[in-house]
Amino acid sequence: MRAGTERAALLGAAAAVIGLALVVGCSAPVEGHPQENRAQAAEYAAEVTSSMAAASSSQKAADELAALEAECALFLTRAGDTIDSYNAFIDAANTDAADAGAKAAQAVGALRSAADRAEEAGPALPPDLAGLFVDYAATYRDLASAVESGERGDYLNTLAGRGDELRDSIRAACPTS
């Protein structure tokens, strides 16, 4: 035990001597006059500006993506509601239900409202997605007019099928979060 204590004391003393030598050796004054390095300062300022611009651009891109994701989610939710209204009309029409006329009016309103919302969203969207929204709006307006005029059968099925295809294309083109 005594040898261990002596060894620890010896190591501690050696470390103190080395530390003192470093302090004494590094405490001499530095000669000369400080001068600014304009080239380095300009380079640093340019790096800071570039970094800030990149961060700002990155934040803008993230904000745009978040807005696009929100618009797509809202569209898909509303599209589901519109389809529910249209399907309620189809069910009523297929069974000659007494409320088929009321269901038709609700479907027409829902289809036109969906078309209006799709058109309103279009200008803020990327061009390929905006084009799909415009086509969706036109198809749903045609479908609303067909329901309102009393069309039945294949014509409605064709328009509804086209609306479904467009909705699926929009879903595929939308970013996912």
pTM for this prediction: 0.65
Place of tokens 């004494």: 24
More confident residue, 71 or 132: 132
Query: What is the three-state SS of 35-70?
Result: CCCHHHHHHHHHHHHHHHHHHHHHHHHHHHHHHHHH
Mean pLDDT for the chain overall: 83
pLDDT tens figures, 102-143:
999 999 999 999 999 999 988 888 999 999 999 999 999 999
Q: What is the pLDDT of residue 60?
A: 75
No. of H helices and E strands in the chain?
Answer: 5, 0
Tokens 């620890």 identify what position?
Answer: 8
3-class state of residue 37 by DSSP: coil
| pLDDT at 70 exceeding the cut of 70 | yes
pLDDT, position 31 = 75
Predicted confidence at residue 157, as pLDDT, reads 94
**Res. 84 pLDDT band, cuts 50 70 90:** very high
Tokens encoding 99:
């409320």
Q: Say if residue 177's pLDDT is above 60.
A: no
